Amino acid sequence: MPRPLGDLEDAVMTRVWKWNRPVTVREVLEDLQQERSIAYTTVMTVLDNLHQKGWVRREAEGRAYRYEAVSTRAAYAAALMNEAWSRSDNPAAALVAFFGMMSAEQRAALSDAMRIVQGPATQEPTAPEPVVQGPAAQEPTAQESTVQGPVPQGPENPGDADRDPER
């Protein structure tokens, strides 16, 4: 698990992630100097430390280096969340507390992420096929064809075999 980035490391990595291309110490320095007074050698040391920690890779360009992120900010955030969650003695309670802290927008993002992770095989069909069992199988009625979501089949709903298909 990566240790959380320090304030200056985070400020430098924010630029590397945002620009999403190999960057020089000078480029990062000039951008950081809009917010704070900082020396070239400080930025160079931070980027060297980030390289040694495995956050950036570097490629020589003349007497300098160009630095590029090894992974995304999203991957970094996910690793931090996973580490915090795995340290809990009650992961379910930790998730409940975490979800309780979320804004409506964050909960919507979580729902979207769950749909992406689960993939199309676990998503509800948009137009489910009606379930008609038994010898009286015929075209569904208007009411049956507008059912939203999956329709239980088999032993979960044994009364379906006896129902009147005209209802």
pLDDT for 74-121, tens place per residue? Answer: 999 999 999 888 899 999 999 899 999 999 999 999 999 999 999 876
Burial class (CB in 10 A: 0-12, 13-18, 19+), 135: exposed
166 within 8 A of 141, measured Cβ to Cβ: yes
Q: How far apart are CA 165 and CA 151, in angstroms?
A: 15
Q: Taking all residues of the chain, what is their mean pLDDT, rounded to a whole number?
A: 79
Burial class (CB in 10 A: 0-12, 13-18, 19+), 9: middle
Closest by Cα among 12, 88, 71 to 45: 12
Q: What is the pTM of this model?
A: 0.62
154 within 8 A of 125, measured Cβ to Cβ: no
Q: Which residue has the higher pLDDT, 131 or 60?
A: 60
12 within 8 A of 43, measured Cβ to Cβ: yes
Specify the amino acid at residue 152.
P
